[in-house]
Each structure stands twice: as structure tokens, then as C-alpha cells.
Amino acid sequence: MNISELQKMNYFVFLTFGLFSSVVVLANTPMGKLELISNSAFEVRQNAESRGTQIYGIDHVMGNIQFYVRPGESAGAPLSWAPESRILESGVYRSLHGLTWNWVHSSYSDPLYPGLHRFTTMFETEDQGFEFYGYASGVSEAASHSLAIAFIEQLRRAGNGRSLTDQFIGKKYYLGFGDDLSGFMGNEVKYDIDHTHNIFTSQLGGEYDGTKVISESGGAELKKYWSSLREQMTFHDMYVQYSSGHGYQQGLAFGVTYNQIRDATLALPAKEVVIFIMACHSGGLVDSFNAKKAAWENWGKWKRTLFVLASSKISETSSTGPGKDPDEPNGPSGSAGSAFGHALWKALIGYADGYGSGVKDGFISIGEIIDFSIYKTKQVGGHTPVYTGVYSREMVMNRVPTELEIAALGPSTEGLSDSQIADQIRDLDNLFRVR
């Protein structure tokens, strides 16, 4: 890709070759002015924005960096620690480019893997009316510290930059589909789909264009949708899919096999394809993708993302959820979603924040979704989610919503009477039904 192509895409990335370094503008008007002077040791994997905060995911052979820029003075600390984190040391560092950084080292004891410790170095500064902050992750305290210092030393004040993505010229598509079931399981399917739909189609998750298909046998409708999407989609686009319902070792009762799901989604030219699936034996979809690994294992070379997360191994059934959500005790039976759908919903609304790194930054990454969903699904349902793909664990999928934003996501049942709840479920049935 040449310079003109990058500029057409509005990426604030300027590349030179030979003896020169590349310069990545990590913050530009109106976000501020800061540059990363990179000799290709640091590679920007993600450039996103949410509510005025610019987000950069940066890879390095020693580990990874999450870096944030936000304008104005904050009401509180931009980062905090997960309960399992232990503060090791703190101090102040002045870089060669004249920026003074506060830093803190911590270790994190992973509750999912007892005995596994991860190390992070958090750093922050204020300059030109903006807050610049982030953290480096490494296999040891020394490694995270060295990576943080190496990164800080590459940052300077600038002269007269996907999932949750800024400077984005493509389109974003969300598809949710599932069985048109009645009673308790029907509610679980509808709430599973509605929860993810309402996150990703809102500003919290990137404002995807949303489509939902609920049917007794919607395979034909689904294939028609994929075919139409394939014709209109471009390489710049992004795609998130969530399905919920009954499954067996080769596919879904909805009317599609795992191989058909795999082939249809691999045929989409999107830069980013993210798939969540809740069904008994849904690990069969992961196995299906892995059986055709040659078709996608090199996606990373073209900066493409594929991520597939299934609710259970192919040998396992997937469980119903807790019935009612403890955070919404007046909801109808099934409103908590399935065990996996409940875990994923909780991950997306903030329970997963800090679960992978020990640092609570207000954003949810793929790695945090993986770790928390596995933990919570096993706790609630007793089965183990499985996953595959070519992706970065640090890629940000959504911002953590406030309590008011969660309440506004709907369909909230808090405080409603039984008859009002029944009316709401009927509305969901009518809304989701294929016509």
C-alpha cells in the first residue's frame, strides 16, 4: 500500500523506507498532537475512537501496549486496577523528548489460571491540554517496564490517527439470528441476540448496521442475506455475527450447517469478521473453521481479523442461563440469556474489564471477552467455550457503558408489571419474526 492510498483512507500513518523511520501520528487535531517515531519495532494494530478517547493498540516483540489519548482534565484516574492486581512499585520518568511520565508496576494473578502471573506497567502524562496514558504488558516486571520505557522514548510532540474504529471509510454490519422458540428458551434466544445487537449497534460498540432474523427454519433467509451482503461488502468493512439456538454436531436447527456458516462468512471480503455462536455442540463451527485453516491462516498478512467464539466444545451441550439476571431481578424468566449469552453480555457491559491484564481501562478487548466468557460460562453452565482465528487479544471491541447507558440499551424490564413484561415479550416476538 502506497502513501496516497493511506491518505485516501484517512489513516494518520506516514511511511518512509530505507534508513528513515516511520512516523505515526497518535493524536491529531482536535485530539491533540503526539507522534510515535517507530523503526518498525512498534506496529499499530488498532486505531479507534470512543467518546473523545483515542485508542491505539500497539504490538512489539516484547509484548504489547494499549495507549489512550483524551482531551481535557479528567474527573478521576483514567485507569484503575482489577482486584487481583498487586502494586509493586511506582515513580516518575522524564523522557528524552521532554515529557514527564508517572508510572506504576503491578502484577496480576489470573483467576482463570491459578498460579499464572502477568505483569503490567501503567504510565500517564498531561500535555497540550490532553491526557496521554496507557500500559505495557510483559512476561515479567522487568519486561513490562523495559517495554514501557522503550515506547515512551519513541513518543514526541508532533509538529505542525478497526471493531471500534476511527478514520473509518467502510461500513459495519451486525447480524443476529436464532430459533423462533416459545417460552423460557425462546426468551433466552431473543435476549441473547438483543443484548449483543444493542451493544454493537450503539455508539458503545461502533454503531454497526443491525439485522436480526428469528425463525423456525430461517436457513434460506440467512443464505439470502449472506449472498446480498457479499455483493455489497468491501475490504474496508467490518462484520459481527451472533447466533443462538439449538445445535447438533454438524450444524444448527435453524437450517444451516457449520460448513455453510464457515464458507459464507469466509467469502465475505470484510477486513474484520467476528463470530459468536451459542448452541449445543457449537464447537463444531470452530472445528469446521480449523479444517479449512489454509483459507484464513494468512489473513494477518493483510491486516485482516477472524475471530470465532463458540459456547461449548463439539462434544458438549450448552446450558440455559441463570433465568433472571441478578442485575435485573424483575426481568422475565430467560431474560438473563443462555449461560454463554449471559457471560458474553456481562463481559461486554464491563465485567471483563481488566480480566486479562489486571488494568481496568474502560474498554473491552477480545482477550478480555475470551477469558471472562470462558470463566463465567463454566461457572454458570458447566461447559467450556472454544475459539479460533487470526486476531489480536488486545483489539478493543467496545466501551464499557455507564449504568444509565445499560438501562437505555433495552429491552429493560426493571420495574415493569407482569402484564407489561408479557407485552414486551410479544413485541420482541413480532419484531424478530421473519416476514
Report how far residue 35's alpha carbon sits from residue 378's, in angstroms, rounded to the nearest whole number.
Answer: 43
HSE-CB for 293 with a 13 A CA cutoff: 8
* Predicted local distance difference test score (pLDDT) of residue 184: 44
| CA–CA separation, 172 and 163 (whole Å) | 8
pTM of the model: 0.69
Mean pLDDT, rounded, of the chain:
79
Q: What is the pLDDT of residue 416?
A: 46
Q: What is the DSSP string of 332-362?
A: PTTTT--HHHHHHHHIIIIITTTTTTSEE-S
pLDDT reported for residue 3: 26
Task: Band the pLDDT of 20: cuts 50, 70, 90.
Answer: very low
Query: Is the CB of residue 131 less than 8 Å from the CB of residue 70?
Result: yes
- The pLDDT of 172-179, averaged and rounded, is 90
Distance CA 321, CA 334 (A): 7
Q: What is the pLDDT of residues 355-389, one digit of tens each?
A: 877 889 999 999 999 999 999 899 888 889 999 99
Q: Looking at per-residue confidence, does 216 or 301 come out higher? A: 301
* 356-to-231, 291, 364, 372, 381 alpha-carbon distances in Å: 38, 28, 10, 8, 21
Q: Rounded CA gap, 20 and 2, in Å?
A: 16
